Amino acid sequence: MDISHLLDDLNPPQREAVTSTSPAIMVIAGAGSGKTRVLTHRVSWLIEVERLSPYSILAVTFTNKAAAEMRGRIETQLNMSTRGLWVGTFHSIAHRLLRMHWREAGLPQQFQILDSDDQKRLVKRVIRERELDPAHYPPPQVQWWINNRKDEGLRAANIDAEGDHYLSTMVQLYHDYEAACERGGMVDFAELLLRSNELWLNQPVLLKQYQERFAHILVDEFQDTNALQYAWIRNLSGKDTQMFIVGDDDQAIYGWRGALVENITRYEQELAPVEVIKLEQNYRSTQTILSAANGLIEHNQERHGKNLWSDGEEGEPITLYAAFNEQEEARYVIDQIEASIADGADRDQSAILYRSNSQSRAFEELLMQRNIPYRVYGGLRFFERAEVRDGLAYLRLVANRNDDAAFERVVNHPPRGIGNRTLELLRAEARRVNQSLWTTAQNGSAWGLSGRAAGALQKFSELIEEIARECADTSLADSIETTINRCGLLEHYAGQRSEKEQARVENLEELVNAGSLYQPDDEESELDPLSTFLSHAALEAGENQGDAWEKCVQLMTLHSAKGLEFDQVFLTGMEEGLFPHSRSIEEPGRLEEERRLCYVGMTRARQTLCITHAEARRLHGDTRITSPSRFIREIPADHLREVRIRGQVEAPVYRPGSSLSSAQPTANGLRLGQLVAHAKFGEGVIMDIEGDGSRQRVQVEFSEVGSKWLMTDYANLQPQ
């Protein structure tokens, strides 16, 4: 058998990882070391060389994107369909199990997935019903708390509040929330995992069956697993299961949402002896970038220890630019990008990375002004848009009348005269009789609702029943079309003719389209298509902004940059308080996570890396003087090159500890940040200086007339 195509382009440790027969393997895969390749080649190897049935392999990832990429690559390698092979996110696999074993899991067959938005509404309701002050118990915080408990594998009944008032209230809310979910047949994200883990614990026969089925379990991004995911994996693995995990402790950046890097060590201890394979050869970045990143990450105490190297080129030094403020920072970065594009680089090979989303603004404004196409990652995705969610809520009611979250969402949207007062009474009554809102609404006048309110609810019920009847024996696509057309949302938006409403109508039409394109997975094909479509919508929120695939400059947070790579990377806003973020500075553990985030950012770059910081930045309304990030100082200085304004290299811009000292005066006494007066334009601040002698010009931000470029020889600016 010719197996060369699976091994030829691998280095020795990669090859060892792909072919190893140890019962427990741990691959510590540095950034850019070919992690995905190892994972996919191993699966292909198992199937093609070891002749394992795809049916006996389970591969788990964190994102749908990673799962899709893995499946795609495996199919290409094997040149066959991967039917039977389970590749998916923790959540999608747990979901699949629950759909198959809903009875054993104690769920109604039609259970629906509650996304975080619905979850928040439900939590809010539970708080209201307890008559607690939402200021004392903010819904997002309660939601966060509940999810954290679930991620730890704890149910309300398992938590001992020990007389602590706050804690016991939280437990009570958790309890109410569980009851509300139960009543409506709803399962939130964390619940998917918790339930299926309980399925393992409560159904030993079923568990054994799966343990025997999966001879191989592969887990990607192991450093991001939380306690529940760890338990889930451990329970599922039988004594003959071969475990293959891939992770990188230096890229653990999700501790704040419950991920436990320690799971790596824990795995190593619990499954000893574990074969540890380190992938340290990097195929992405220049040696300079790697050395710099290594130098930085060495400042962390808690490490497995690993040193990335490359046999590629030394590459350019990392440039460091000290901007006057965030606008000037944007100007510098975008000038550089424009220059590289002029040199023939692709726009989408430049990425601007930042710590927090609000920083994208200055960049976006300038990119827009200069007509450079760009794409900002993050933000609302298709299935998260309000109108799409409304449409889905109608569908959910059609599928399951007891879905209270969906009921609340659309009962008066579009407005049909069911006001808050009515809803309040309805909620109270539903709670009293412990029934869903839908059921309670059916006999409004019987429990004392005014004739008018009861009538309005009646009409709403009839509408839903009617839609359901029309959808009864049609295809999924037709059901969705019927629902969207009949629910009244289209008319509601069509009435108003602004651009926004136009877009909403289009999105609803797109939802119909999404339904007709939807193909259930093989295992799901015999289940109710509407339910699986709704789950799909919740589990996979869709493309970010599937806008035209024109090549765009990429803007994103450092977190969303993980897993991506670009020729040219700008690491911006490298200032104390912003990055590392002020809320992380106190705790050593958090600070180390910030440092790993910086490491992740740096290692995204293939060719060039540029680090920028502003000496003054407008944040939350006021301008403050900032100092450069400690991370800049932690990068070995010999890999850095400081850049002056427009390429004039003189005294170093950056000196540790200095803030505004870098604004060097020019020959005629003007310097950045200088307050000046102009005969016609009034007072202003110097934002930029370029050229010298008779060709020197300065950019002044005037308080009256805005920003102007002026030739210094003619402007006659008076320093103030």
Site for DNA in 269-298 (CB under 7 A): none
Residue 510, both tokens: 């797109």
Q: Is residue 148 a contact residue for DNA (CB under 7 A)?
A: no
Residue 584 binds to DNA (criterion: CB under 7 A): yes
Of these, 40, 350, 557, 626, which contacts DNA (CB under 7 A)? 557
Candidates 89, 310, 483, 626; binder of DNA (CB under 7 A) is 89
* Integer angstrom CA distances of residue 499 from 234, 384, 502, 506: 52, 19, 5, 11
> What is the Cα–Cα distance from 597 to 571, expressed in whole angstroms?
11
**Active-site annotation holds for 280:** no
Closest approach of DNA to the CB of residue 8, in Å: 32
Nearer to DNA, 48 or 326 (CB): 326
Cα 567 to Cα 285: distance, rounded to the nearest angstrom:
9
Asked if 357 and 380 count as a contact pair (C-beta separation under 8 A), the reply is no
Binding mask 189-218 for DNA (x = CB under 7 A): xx----------------------------
| Active-site option among 35, 149, 278, 331 | 35
Scan residues 153-192 and list those touching DNA (CB under 7 A): 189-190
User: Prior bond to 140 cis, omega within 30?
Assistant: no
Is 404 one of the binding residues for DNA (CB under 7 A)? no
Catalytic residue, from 118, 151, 176, 220: name it: 220
Q: Which helix (H) or strand (E) holds 685?
A: strand 682-690
**208 given a catalytic annotation:** no
Tokens read off for 284: 């992405």
Choices 77-85, 169-177, 613-621, 697-705; region in contact with DNA by CB under 7 A: 613-621
Q: In whole angstroms, what is the distance from residue 686 CA to residue 675 CA? A: 7
Do 199 and 98 meet the contact criterion of CB atoms below 8 Å apart?
yes
Minimum CB distance to DNA smaller for 71 or for 559: 559
The answer to the question of residue 134 lying near DNA (CB under 7 A) is yes
Size of the site for DNA (CB under 7 A): 43
The 10 Å Cβ neighbour count of residue 510 is: 18
CA distance 693 to 712: 9
What is the helix (H) or strand (E) element at residue 356, kind and residue range?
none
Please report how close the Cβ of residue 95 comes to DNA at its closest, in angstroms.
Answer: 7
The 57-61 sheet, strands edge to edge: 86-89, 57-61, 216-219, 242-247, 24-29, 275-279
d(CA 72, CA 267) in angstroms, rounded, equals 29
Taking CB under 7 A as the binding criterion, the range among 57-65, 230-238, 287-295, 342-350 that sits at the site for DNA is 57-65
Q: Looking at 4, 21, 79, 420, which residue binds DNA (CB under 7 A)?
A: 420
User: Is residue 419 part of the contact set for DNA (CB under 7 A)?
Assistant: yes
Query: Given 36, 169, 203, 439, which residue is catalytic?
Result: 36
Minimum CB separation from DNA for residue 677, in Å? 23
By CB under 7 A, residue 86 contacts DNA: no
Secondary structure element (H or E) that encloses residue 656, with its range:
none
Candidates 85-93, 171-179, 387-395, 663-671; binding stretch for DNA (CB under 7 A): 85-93
Determine whether 188 is an active site residue: no
Among 5, 50, 55, 65, binds DNA (CB under 7 A): 65
The residues near 131 (Cβ < 8 Å, ≥ 6 apart) are none
Q: Does residue 150 have an active-site annotation?
A: no
Binding flag, residue 222, DNA (CB under 7 A) = no
The region of 518-526, 600-608, 616-624, 694-702 touching DNA under the rule CB under 7 A is: 616-624
- CA pair distance 524, 99, nearest whole angstrom: 8
Whether residue 397 contacts residue 179, with contact meaning beta carbons closer than 8 Å, is answered with no
- Which of 37, 331, 347, 604 is an active site residue? 604
Q: Has 35 been annotated as catalytic?
A: yes
Where is 341: in which H helix or E strand?
helix 326-342
Residues 251, 327, 608, 712: which is the catalytic one? 251
Determine whether 519 is an active site residue. no
| Backbone angles phi and psi of 314, in degrees to 5 | -60, -50
- Shortest spacing between CB 234 and DNA, in angstroms: 20
CA distance 310 to 291: 10
CB of 13 or CB of 684, closer to DNA: 684
Count Cβ atoms below 10 Å from residue 50 Cβ, excluding itself: 11
State the residues that interact with DNA by CB under 7 A. 62-65, 89, 91-92, 115-116, 134, 139, 189-190, 256-257, 355-358, 378, 412, 415-422, 539-541, 556-557, 559-560, 581, 583-584, 590, 618, 620-621
What positions carry a catalytic annotation?
35-36, 220-221, 251, 604
